[in-house]
Amino acid sequence: MKIAVCIKQVPATTEVKFDPETNTLVREGVDSQINPFDLYALEEAVRTKERLQADGEESSVTVVCMGPPQAQDALREAVALGADETILLSDRAFGGADTWATSYTLGLGLKKIEPDIVFCGMQAIDGDTGQVGPGIATHIDYAQATYVAKIESLDKKKITVKRLVENGYEVCSVKLPIVITVVKEINEPRTPSLRGKMNAKKAQITTWGAADLEAPVEKLGLSGSPTQVAKVFSPPHREGGEKSEGEPDELAEKLFGLLKELEIV
Amino acid sequence: MDYFFTEEQQMMREVAREIAEKKIRPIAAEYDESGEFPWPVVEAIAEADLFRVFIPEEYGGMDLGTPIMNMCIVTEELSKACGGISLGFAATGLGTMPILVAASDEQKKKWLPRIADGTLAAFGLTEANAGSDASAVATRAVLDGDEWVINGTKQWITNGGEAEIYTVFCVTDPTRGARGVSTIVVEKGTPGFTFGKKENKMGIRASATRELIFQDCRVPKENVLGKPGSGFFNAMKTFDMSRPGVASQALGIAQGALDIAVNYSRERRQFGQPISAFQGMQFMLADMAMKVEAARALVYATARLIDSGVEKKPTMYSAMSKCFASDVAMEVTTNAVQVLGGYGYMKEYPVEKYMRDAKITQIYEGTNQIQRIEIAKGLIASAAKS
């Protein structure tokens, strides 16, 4: 069974900078890390592979990352954590992509790999959209299960997962191929092994550009993005509200007066 | 300070550090309190290939020619987070050493790959009446056909009950004194081999310490390491190689306590300023840091000397590293408690545990009094030679 994982390299600090021209994140020259949610996706992929291999089935994990050349570091770290193959989708044409163009591009990469399962983190800690996983599924016409907290069972044709939903859990069986986005409850990620780190150092990282994906340039990057970021700003500090003290009856009357004034009641 | 490690050694340190920070530090207090054996951490250490670092490649290891330095690096890093949990690793190193020192190729093939994969080992020498005087062991092994029949009790054995592979020192020829002792490997589950109760200790509480009880325990004749009668020699050679391991455990404990003390001194405010602004505090922290760094330099130098193989008998330096680093650990952890004051004395804060954990490093694998005797012996012998 072929398993793929999509990871994103995100800033390791909270002091992010934005490009004033495009209003997108500046990633160059910033300490970075694998998006923490993606570590759970990678761990689940590696565990799934290990379970399959223990049952005598062939399985491998391919990690895909879209980003600038420095995202190689994230892919090397993924090798240290158990990935077999790594593919970097990197091209100037991919720059400035929103979630539509990102999931489209990742989808093109995944189509070449033809995985049975694609694991993603539930969202990235910088963008927080949670759209790329479902976006990929839509672009490549895979089934999807989001916010997965547990894989209940897996066979060659279908997978049963437990999803974290607002009021509890939902268990569903879905046909493969599928895109799964995972929540933190799903596992406890391992730390890198020594062999893994040594392999990571030697790992050959395949890079695919726009030409390798045979992608129409107008669907990529900033030009392929239906959403454009108009403005990026830190929300202003909230001013403290009005505070009144006194007897309950008095306060109730005052509050009622205020509500009336605001035409709420 | 930069000690110019190889790239692989830096990787070992990073791998160990991540386990220490992510898997050990968050649960150290809980295991100290319960005294439970930290199997999840031991499994993580095994999965991270760290049991391979002191075992040669042909036996499933990754020692890369520097087993002692590697063992020290990993032990130090793990011990920064918990000097008790790190012992599951470090005491396996000690238990493995007699195999590395004395076993035949066939014996190494039998046991080392399992240890490399994360099977725990333990070293069984101490008895109720054979502590510092290790030659006084009374556990008896008698050859009966193709088997050794072992009777006796080993005491205070680290990893006892949790380990699978035990290197046990037994008297095989009572007429020959120290030259009548042999090293025999006994595996857990062998009939006649049982364990005493788990000891309730002052420190290193997440480490398991038990008696090994042998009652007509039969093991194959070929489980003896080296020639019968070489046991005492094997034990001494083991200590030459293993004492930097205890030293690095002490070093990790000391560094861990120092880090906590420095951070606390910057946060704790009295008289309107952080206590780190007071000279009295600065002098204390400076002395602690100086001693830790001096200990580190000695431990690393000793480990490199042993790995280089140029010194046939590194006993004196091994003893120095163990003695110095453990004395430093005791002093630094005591002062770390002092830096934290009343908070330091409370179990809600982590430093009192470092102080309790440090104490054992002055005692086991030879008390520091025995280490000083070894150092003096080495001094006098080399003076007599020149």
pLDDT in the model for residue A14: 65
- pLDDT tens digit sequence for A192-248: 999 999 999 999 999 999 999 998 888 999 888 998 878 877 778 887 788 888 899
Q: How far apart are CA A14 and CA A35, in angstroms?
A: 13
What is the rounded end-to-end Cα distance, in angstroms, of chain A? 62
pLDDT in the model for residue B162: 98
- pLDDT tens digit sequence for A74-111: 999 999 999 999 999 999 999 888 999 999 999 999 99
18-77 of B, contacting A, C-beta below 8 A: 18-19, 22-23, 44, 47-50, 52-53, 62
Share of chain A above pLDDT 90, in %: 74
Whichever domain contains A120, its CATH number is 3.40.50.620
Residue B313 DSSP class: -
Nearest-Cα residue of chain A relative to residue B21: A191
In chain B, which residues have their Cβ closer than 8 Å to the Cβ of A47?
none
pLDDT in the model for residue B112: 98
Partner A contacted by B8 (CB < 8 A): yes
Partner B contacted by A68 (CB < 8 A): no
In a domain? residue A261: no
In chain A, which residues have their Cβ closer than 8 Å to the Cβ of B7?
201
In a domain? residue A253: no
User: Do you know the residue count of chain B?
Assistant: 386
CB B99 within 8 A of CB B333: no
In a domain? residue A26: yes
Q: How far apart are CA A89 and CA B377, in angstroms?
A: 65
B36 classed as catalytic: no
CA neighbours closer than 13 Å in the CB half-sphere of residue B308: 10
Q: How far apart are CA B246 and CA B91, in angstroms?
A: 9
φ/ψ of residue A11, rounded to 5: -60, 140
Partner A contacted by B12 (CB < 8 A): yes
CA neighbours closer than 13 Å in the CB half-sphere of residue B180: 14
Find, among B329, B359, B299, the residue nearest to B1 by Cα: B299
pLDDT classification of A23: cutoffs 50, 70, 90: confident
What secondary structure does DSSP assign to A120-156, as a single string? Answer: EES--TTT----HHHHHHHHHT-EEEEEEEEEEEE-S
pLDDT in the model for residue A17: 74
Partner A contacted by B168 (CB < 8 A): no
In a domain? residue A161: yes
Helix axes B86-102, B39-47, angle to 10 degrees: 50
In a domain? residue A170: yes
Question: Tell me, what's the ipTM?
Answer: 0.90
CB B288 within 8 A of CB B261: yes
User: Is residue A15 predicted with pLDDT exceeding 70?
Assistant: no
What secondary structure does DSSP assign to B159-220, as a single string? Answer: TTTT-SEEEEEEES-GGGGGGGEEEEEEETT-TTEEE-PPP--SS-TTS-EEEEEEEEEEEE
User: Do you know the residue count of chain A?
Assistant: 265
Q: Kindly determine whether residue A190 and residue B47, on different chains, have CB atoms separated by under 8 Å.
A: yes
Element (H, E) at A182: strand A178-182
Alpha-helical segments (H) within chain B: 7-19, 28-34, 39-47, 67-81, 86-102, 105-116, 231-267, 279-308, 315-345, 351-361, 368-385
**Which residue's entry shows tokens 């250490």?**
B45
Find, among B119, B126, B99, the residue nearest to B223 by Cα: B99
Q: How many distinct structural domains can be found in chain A? A: 1
Q: How far apart are CA A128 and CA A102, in angstroms?
A: 14
Beta bridge partners of B182: B170
Q: Kindly determine whether residue B53 and residue A191, on different chains, have CB atoms separated by under 8 Å.
A: no
Question: Out of A8-17, A31-40, A178-187, which region has the weakest mean confidence (pLDDT)?
Answer: A8-17
Residue ranges and CATH numbers for the domains of chain B are 7-120 (1.10.540.10), 122-231 (2.40.110.10), 235-385 (1.20.140.10)
pLDDT in the model for residue A230: 80
Going by C-beta distance under 8 Å and a sequence separation of 6 or more, which residues neighbour residue B362? B326, B327, B329, B330, B368
Task: Note down the domain range covering A27.
Answer: 2-224
Q: How far apart are CA B68 and CA B255, in angstroms?
A: 20
For B44, the closest of A190, A196, A197 (CB atoms) is A190
Element (H, E) at A170: strand A168-175
CA distance B70 to chain A (A): 12
Q: What is the mean pLDDT of residues A149-165?
A: 95
User: What parts of chain B have a pLDDT lower than 70?
Assistant: none
In a domain? residue A24: yes
In a domain? residue A252: no
CA distance A201 to chain B (A): 10
Find, among A111, A116, A137, A112, the residue nearest to A49 by Cα: A116
φ/ψ of residue A61, rounded to 5: -115, 120
**What is the Cα gyration radius of chain B?**
21
In a domain? residue A126: yes
